[in-house]
Every structure is written in C-alpha cells, then in structure tokens.
Amino acid sequence: MANRLLRYPYHFFINYVPNHILNKVPSYNIRNFVYRKIYGIKLGKGSSIHLHTRINRFNIEVGTNSVINRYCYLDGRGGILIGDNVSISPETHLITASHDFSSREFKYFSKPIKIYDFVWIGSRATIMPGVVLGKGCVVATGAVVTKNVKEYDVVAGVPAKVIAQRTRDLDYNCCWKPPFD
C-alpha cells in the first residue's frame, strides 16, 4: 500500500507538472531552467522549448540555437537527439515508442530519433520511432516520416517521399525567443 501511495507524487511530478503547469509558464528563462536542472533535458545555448509543448520522459538532448515551437509532443522514451540550428514547427510529434501491430502480445518497442543540424520540420509533421533526419533536410507540413531522410532531401506526404533537394550552403540559426513564448 505504501508503495502505491508513493507512486502518486512521483507521477504528479514527472507527468503532470511539466505538461500542465511548467509548459504554460510564459518565460523561457524559468521554463528552460527547470527543464535543464530538474528534469535533466540537455538544452544547448540559444535553444528553446516553446509554450504548451508536451514531454513524455526526459531522454532528450538539443544542440545550440534550435527551437521546438508551440504545442509539440516530444516522446523521450526511446531518446531524442536534436542537432544545432534545427527548427521544429508547431504541433510536430516526435514519437519514439509504439507497439508491434503484428505481435500477438501487442509488443511494445522504442527506438531513438536523431535529427541532424539545419533540419526544418514543418507544422503538424510526425516523425516515427528510429528515424534519422539527415543534415539540412526539410520535412513538409503534415508529413509522416517512417524512414530515414538523407541530407538536404525535402520530403512530403504520408508516408513521406522525396520531392526536392535543398540548397547546401545553409547559414542561419534558430535562436527565436519572442516575448512570452
């Protein structure tokens, strides 16, 4: 019985606080400080997690000058590694765990997502478990990425397919911090 009672404060602190209280605090400094110091997210200089982003587990590492915009979902169960100067647009889902639909036991699995430098992910895209997004690639709005994307490829659709190539001489950063976001 005592063990059961101890689980409630743990789940409150690990699930409820970051996803229903902290993610609504209108200050980068406070929010990102708590993500770093209390929840252990490795968040590089100039990087930010915007308002209303939901986080499931905290096995997440973000490089420098990268932005995770509003209302994203970060599933850190399998691990997420995000490089430098990455722009993740609003309402994007990074999903690292799922179930094997062909398994009689509905077997659970998780695989890490790796996102290299200068990647741009459009709004409402979904990145599935185990996907690697190569340097400078672009994921179009609403795409569902189920396979690795090569450097500088532009992908779109469900499932995502290559539709174009991106320029290779990229020189920007994603250190965007408007007030109260």
3-state secondary structure labels for all residues of 88-135: ECCCCEECCEEECCCCCCCCEEECCEEECCCCEECCCCEECCCCEECC
The reported pLDDT for the residue numbered 14 is: 86
Give the global pTM. 0.93
pLDDT band at 180; cut points 50, 70, 90: low
Q: Which of 20, 50, 93, 99 is the catalytic position? A: 99
11 is catalytic: no
> Is residue 3 pLDDT above 70, yes or no?
no
Across 158-174, b (16+ Cβ under 10 Å) vs e yields: eebeeeeebeeeeeebb
Q: Which tokens in the block code for residue 179?
A: 């007030």
The reported pLDDT for the residue numbered 174 is: 86
Nearest CA to 54 out of 82, 31, 75 is that of 75
Quote the mean pLDDT of the chain: 93
Rounded to whole angstroms, the Cα distance separating 164 from 147 reads 16
The reported pLDDT for the residue numbered 83 is: 98
C-beta of residue 73 within 8 angstroms of C-beta of residue 90: no
Q: What is the pLDDT of residues 63-111, one digit of tens each?
A: 999 999 999 999 999 999 999 999 999 999 999 999 999 999 999 999 9
> Is residue 53 pLDDT above 80, yes or no?
yes
Q: 174 or 135: which carries more pLDDT confidence?
A: 135
Q: What is the pLDDT of residues 20-46, one digit of tens each?
A: 999 999 998 899 999 999 999 999 999
CB atoms within 10 A of CB 1: 5
The reported pLDDT for the residue numbered 6 is: 67
**Domains annotated on the chain, with CATH:** 2-165 (2.160.10.10)
